[in-house]
Structure 1
Amino acid sequence: MSKFIINGPSNLSGEIKVNGAKNNALKVLAASLLSKNEITINNIPQIEDVNRMRELLEDLGACVKKREDNLLITSENINKTEIDELLARKLRTSILLVGPLLARFGQAKFPHPGGCVIGKRPIDIFLKGFESLGADIKETKNHYAITAKGGLKGAKIVFPHVSVTATESLMMTATLAKGITTLCNAAMEPEIPAIADYLNRQGAKIIGAGTPCITIEGVEKIGAGSYNVIPDRIEAGTFAIMGVLTNSEIKIADCEPEHLEVLFEKLRQMGAQLEIGDTYVKTKKHNGLHAVDIRTHEYPGFPTDLQAPFTLLLTQAQGMSLVHETVFEGRLFYTDVLNTMGANIIMCDPHRIVLHGPTKLYGKKLISPDLRAGITMALAGLIAEGETVIDNIYQIERGYEKIDERLRSLGAKIERVE
């Protein structure tokens, strides 16, 4: 099993470019099923989650061709509507394929999705949405079978809580439904208007994406064209935190800083020195960090996907901090690992922790439990004294392309060992 070996502490400098967003690329890959025409997806990140989605599409009969950082996908010859169980269990966002299959072919069969161990993440919100659009759902021991023999019909869908993936899924599904669909209490993450803009260019009629209320007027069919995956705001935020954490002068290029305004505000409150341009962020030397409190929230609030790296940063700040995770269950358990490295973190309950800093960290042998906790362990290795070994790095490589090579280009002492 592959592992990272990191020797710290590291002094970093230079420029690191942000790749295409995982959470945008996976959605446009699913959207390719809505049309039989060929789509070209540019700036696609070379990460494991994208590889798994590609395998799922190919298993359904799509033709997928890779050219450097581009993918060309033709879904004209889809030959089945059942999502492969073994592949689906490796990727939770496999559920995004269900809506496009249902909308275009009137049926879909799928197992309970897998891929991520954070919390329960039930799929009821998806199933109720499909039912609202007129679909019939039958559940067996291991699968769900969904049919819409008379076609999908527009409806008003009120989400009981904000869900990014459900918003994207039902927005795509309603694109080919008859009549008008309204999504209320919709998520507003930047990836949502990005995919809506692409669908509209291909003939869809979507209004309000990026706001809490989205209206979709169904059309008979849509085309396909070229799509540029937007920069990964979570990757950009991770690198900004890394620059402050290591007190290094780093330029994070090819990003969209306006997607991370709450993060930058919190960094400034801590004492970080930042230079922010239209498409870049520079971290500069600071004179020490002060403790702050954070509370995760759906966009435009503090991103839950940056909570773990930011918590690591708080271990190096002077004073007491409170971290309140409001989006997912079970997303604070990694803090036990930071404590073994020397952090002083107390878990109040499954959603809140209190930190006292600063604390010196020491290298340990670790196992990455999930994507965001895994990259946090890698960042911890950059400031820890001695050697840090991280196993199960597949979890990190689900979302960060060639992260060891990119960190080495900044001066990090990190090696990937097979």
Structure 2
Amino acid sequence: MKKLIVRGNKPLTGEITISGAKNSTVALIPAAILADSEVVLEGVPDIQDVYSLIEILNEFNVKTHFENNVLRIDPTDMVSIPMPTGKIQSLRASYYFMGATLSKFGEGVIGLPGGCFLGPRPIDQHIKAFTALGAEIEDEFGVITLATPNGLTGTRIYMDVVSVGATINTILASVKAKGKTTIENAAREPEIIDVVTLLNKMGAKIRGAGTNVIRVEGVEELHGVNHTIIPDRIEAGTYITAAVAMGQGVKINNVIFEHIEGFIAKLDEMGVKMDVGEDSVYVHPSDNLKMVNIKTLPYPGFATDLQQPITPLLVLAHGEGTIMDTIYPQRTKHIPELNRMGADIKVDGDIIRITGPTKLTGAQVKASDLRAGACLVIAGLIAEGETVITGVENILRGYANIVENLSAVGADIEMVEDDQPEE
């Protein structure tokens, strides 16, 4: 087990370059198996989720090579095998193999996925879409068996809730189906556009990505291509938040501003001074921050994944504010940890209430999930004294080189082996 030690209250200056998007990558990798020859993905982040997906690919007899952020995926000799347990169950994003194996082999056996526990995360919309396309589904104790006795046929599918996962899985399942599929009330996230861009390069016929109606015309085969992944907007938001909190002038590179417009608008409202360039954001030193109210919404609204990283910044702001997470209302495990460091935050039903500014002091805290971990790292950078963060494996699932990136701009942060067994 590892832990992070952050000695806080150090000014940050310099530059940080953002990696490829985690939430794109975990969908692009399963999408790549639909090709009949090698797919090369560039800008792949060096994170634990990628290694987990590579292990799953290898079990399917897919050849892979990962070096210098370039992942080669050769599905030429891929075989259809049941994957009811093991790696596939430990990783939430592995559910994209449901749509991909259904499309490629007309069958699949997949263990129901894990990942960060953020409250109920039903896959009923995925199942509804597969069934509408003509698949037969059995669910026995979290092991999903997919079969297509008569092949898949395009149809009209209306999503009851806007879901990135269900939208991508439906695209993967319908890309080789006979005829046309129309997905209505589709999610509009940039990561969906990224996946569709890859599939269209491979020979798919998909229109409407980035809008709420996506049309897929089935094709018979897909071929290998090269594709560069978009930058990670959540990582960008995380580092911009750290730069606002402790920066004396920090430049964040490889940022697509349009992807984080809702987030940047909130920082403007708080009084943060930023220069937004073509592919970078320069954050000026900011003090006397104003408190704001935040409501997370599907894209292009304020991202639920940035709710936790921005919370420590609100602790520094003047006034009273609220956070309402309409996507994952139970995403509050970071709050008791921040209060342990001296924050004044209450969880009141589905509303997080913050009073600021308060002074944070280092403490021993635990990262219960990926973005809670990012929140605690930022809190540690702000706090006086030493913060010790356990549950580091959750942070490494989604942030590549976080220690190196923050150290390079002046943070005092290190990762050490933890000899204490977890309680």
Q: Report the TM-score when normalising by structure 2.
A: 0.97
1:114 counterpart residue number: 114
Give the Cα–Cα distance (whole angstroms) in 2 for the partners of residues 328 and 291 of structure 1. 22
Give the Cα–Cα distance (whole angstroms) in 2 for the partners of residues 80 and 213 of structure 1. 31
1:325 counterpart residue number: 325
1:377 counterpart residue number: 376
2:262 counterpart residue number: 262
For residues 77-109 of structure 1, the C-alpha deviation after alignment (integer angstroms, 9 at most, x for no partner) is 122332251102221011101111111101000
1:39 counterpart residue number: 39
SS in 2 for 1:55: helix
1:59 counterpart residue number: 59
SS in 2 for 1:85: coil
Q: Counterpart of 1:171 in structure 2: which amino acid?
A: I
- Structure 1 position 141, deviation (Å): 2.5
Give the Cα–Cα distance (whole angstroms) in 1 for the partners of residues 376 and 189 of structure 2. 26
- Structure 1 position 32, deviation (Å): 1.1
RMSD of equivalent CA atoms: 1.0
Counterpart contact for 1:81–1:107, Cα < 8 Å: no
Counterpart contact for 1:6–1:382, Cα < 8 Å: yes
Give the Cα–Cα distance (whole angstroms) in 1 for the partners of residues 337 and 144 of structure 2. 37
Counterpart contact for 2:33–2:73, Cα < 8 Å: no
2:146 counterpart residue number: 146
Aligned residue pairs total: 417
SS in 1 for 2:361: coil
- Structure 1 position 61, deviation (Å): 1.0
Give the Cα–Cα distance (whole angstroms) in 2 for the partners of residues 94 and 157 of structure 1. 22
For residues 353-398 of structure 1, the C-alpha deviation after alignment (integer angstroms, 9 at most, x for no partner) is 1110000001111111000000110110001111100112010000
SS in 1 for 2:389: strand
1:277 counterpart residue number: 277
For residues 312-354 of structure 1, the C-alpha deviation after alignment (integer angstroms, 9 at most, x for no partner) is 11110000001101001420131111111100011111x2111
Could you list the runs of 4 or more consecutive aligned residues of structure 1 that deviate by over 6 angstroms after TM superposition? none
Q: Counterpart of 2:378 in structure 1: which amino acid?
A: L
Give the Cα–Cα distance (whole angstroms) in 2 for the partners of residues 121 and 339 of structure 1. 27
Give the Cα–Cα distance (whole angstroms) in 1 for the partners of residues 201 and 71 of structure 2. 19
Counterpart contact for 1:81–1:101, Cα < 8 Å: no
For residues 140-176 of structure 1, the C-alpha deviation after alignment (integer angstroms, 9 at most, x for no partner) is 2341111012211101111100000111111121111
User: Is 1:249 the counterpart of 2:266 in the alignment?
Assistant: no
More deviation in 203-212 or 134-143?
A: 134-143
User: Is 1:4 the counterpart of 2:7 in the alignment?
Assistant: no
Give the Cα–Cα distance (whole angstroms) in 1 for the partners of residues 221 and 389 of structure 2. 47
Matches within 5 A, 1:187-226: 187-226=187-226
Q: Counterpart of 1:239 in structure 2: which amino acid?
A: Y
Counterpart contact for 1:120–1:329, Cα < 8 Å: no
Give the Cα–Cα distance (whole angstroms) in 1 for the partners of residues 14 and 368 of structure 2. 30
Give the Cα–Cα distance (whole angstroms) in 2 for the partners of residues 224 and 114 of structure 1. 29
SS in 1 for 2:14: strand
Give the Cα–Cα distance (whole angstroms) in 2 for the partners of residues 197 and 384 of structure 1. 42
Give the Cα–Cα distance (whole angstroms) in 1 for the partners of residues 144 and 239 of structure 2. 40
SS in 1 for 2:328: coil
SS in 2 for 1:216: strand
Give the Cα–Cα distance (whole angstroms) in 2 for the partners of residues 141 and 320 of structure 1. 45
Counterpart contact for 1:247–1:284, Cα < 8 Å: yes
Identical aligned pairs, as a percentage?
39
Distance 1:185 1:416, change over 3 A: same
Give the Cα–Cα distance (whole angstroms) in 2 for the partners of residues 261 and 140 of structure 1. 42
User: Is 1:357 the counterpart of 2:356 in the alignment?
Assistant: yes
Counterpart contact for 1:56–1:84, Cα < 8 Å: no
- Structure 1 position 310, deviation (Å): 1.2
Give the Cα–Cα distance (whole angstroms) in 2 for the partners of residues 68 and 291 of structure 1. 41
Give the Cα–Cα distance (whole angstroms) in 1 for the partners of residues 116 and 248 of structure 2. 32
SS in 2 for 1:390: strand
For residues 43-79 of structure 1, the C-alpha deviation after alignment (integer angstroms, 9 at most, x for no partner) is 1000001111111111111000123210111111122
2:411 counterpart residue number: 412
Q: Counterpart of 1:364 in structure 2: which amino acid?
A: A
- Structure 1 position 247, deviation (Å): 4.0
SS in 2 for 1:199: helix
Q: Counterpart of 1:104 in structure 2: which amino acid?
A: K
Give the Cα–Cα distance (whole angstroms) in 2 for the partners of residues 400 and 344 of structure 1. 28
Give the Cα–Cα distance (whole angstroms) in 1 for the partners of residues 115 and 51 of structure 2. 13
Q: Report the TM-score when normalising by structure 1.
A: 0.98
SS in 2 for 1:248: strand
SS in 2 for 1:378: helix
SS in 2 for 1:89: helix
Counterpart contact for 2:370–2:397, Cα < 8 Å: yes
Counterpart contact for 1:136–1:147, Cα < 8 Å: yes
